[in-house]
Structures are given as C-alpha cells and as structure tokens.
Chains A and B, each alone.
Chain A
Amino acid sequence: GAGVSQSPRYKVAKRGQDVALRCDPISGHVSLFWYQQALGQGPEFLTYFQNEAQLDKSGLPSDRFFAERPEGSVSTLKIQRTQQEDSAVYLCASSLAHRGTDTQYFGPGTRLTVL
C-alpha cells in the first residue's frame, strides 16, 4: 500500500516568505507527527495530532510555526516569515492508533532552504 507522502519534496524560500508543507499519511492512520531534522542531527519532534485534534505542540520553535489537520487526514505545516534558521528537512510520520508502542512510519521529507 501507499506510504506517507509529502509535498513539495524541495522548497526554496526567500527570508520573510510564508511556506506551507503538506503531508498525506497512510490511509486510516489516526496519529500524525511532524519532526524537523537539521543537517547532521536526528529528527526533532514538533507536533502531534490524534485525528484532527492537536494534542501536543510543545516542539514548535516559535509562534511562526502552525500545523493543522482539519479533517483528520491530510496535514499542513505552515511557517510564517521564514528565517534562515528554519532551513531543515521537515518529516511527517503517521501511526495506526494512539498507543505509545505504535510504530511511526515516515515520509520522504520536505527539504526547506531559506535564502
């Protein structure tokens, strides 16, 4: 079956522009996660949805970052007034249910470069 897909795969933005990154989770997966991976680092948690409810947004680095999942399926991560330090790969993951032992399956990521 289809895995997690993300679009665009690559995004170049000028400093100050707004960007929107899309995630299509595996069909039927209840939980959805966003992570940020800087160069040479491991992924870092940003936010978590259970269906349409955003249950944890403790990892969002500033109020310029906003995520939504209005119908409990597709999710969008929006970054307003992008800064150079926002340059990273943004990974989306989904899991079947909302148990701590449910494996998270990752998409290919969106590489954001802010000039």
Chain B
Amino acid sequence: DQQVKQNSPSLSVQEGRISILNCDYTNSMFDYFLWYKKYPAEGPTFLISISSIKDKNEDGRFTVFLNKSAKHLSLHIVPSQPGDSAVYFCAASASSSGTYKYIFGTGTRLKVLA
C-alpha cells in the first residue's frame, strides 16, 4: 500500500523554465511534508518542508504547495538550473501522532537541459 505516490518517474525541463514535481498521498493523518533532493552516491538532502496548517511555503527558487482536500503537494523550481538535475523525493509524516518516521515516494528524476 503506497501511502505516498510520485507518479512521474522522470521529467525533463529546459534551463530557465519552471519544473513542477508532483506528489499524492492517501493517509489523512499526515500533517508534515518534505522534499528531498538526491544525487548519485549521496544521501538525500533536505530542500523544503510544509506543515498542513499552510498551503504554501517558499524558499528562494523552491516553492511547495499543499492541497489538503486533494491530498496533493507539488514542488515548483523556478528558474530551473542544470545543477537541479537529481532525483527528488517527496516525504510525509504524521508528526502529531508521536510517530516521527518519514514515508517516502518512489522519486522523480529531474533532468534540466542546458
């Protein structure tokens, strides 16, 4: 039972354009969401997070949007840069339940074309 789903295994975007990565979840207990970026042979690197009390969080070129009614979140990267090419993982947790583990999606490989 995949509680966090990233339905697009890959995405290619031209440099300078917007990258939009999507994530869907099924567990209504999730109240904290994160995006991580992963380069080959490295561990996931934290990018940005959002609590369920918000619907948007912005940090520089990265913005995360949360639509609780649709159980959907997205990561926008604008403008996209070649160095953004990596695998992006969406993660969720039910932080208020005392369970601190993250549930991850399967990842989306982003390729930014110069």
Contact = CB atoms under 8 A, between A and B. Distances in A.
A22 to B, nearest CB: 14
A106 B93 contact: no
Nearest to A109: B43
A43 B44 contact: yes
B106 A33 contact: no
B43 A100 contact: no
Contacts of A35: 102, 104
Interface of A: 4, 31, 33, 35, 40-45, 48, 56, 59, 91, 93, 95, 98-109
Interface of B: 4, 31-32, 34, 36, 41-46, 49, 51, 89, 91, 93-107
5 closest Cβ contacts across the A-B interface? A100-B95, A42-B104, A106-B43, A45-B101, A106-B44
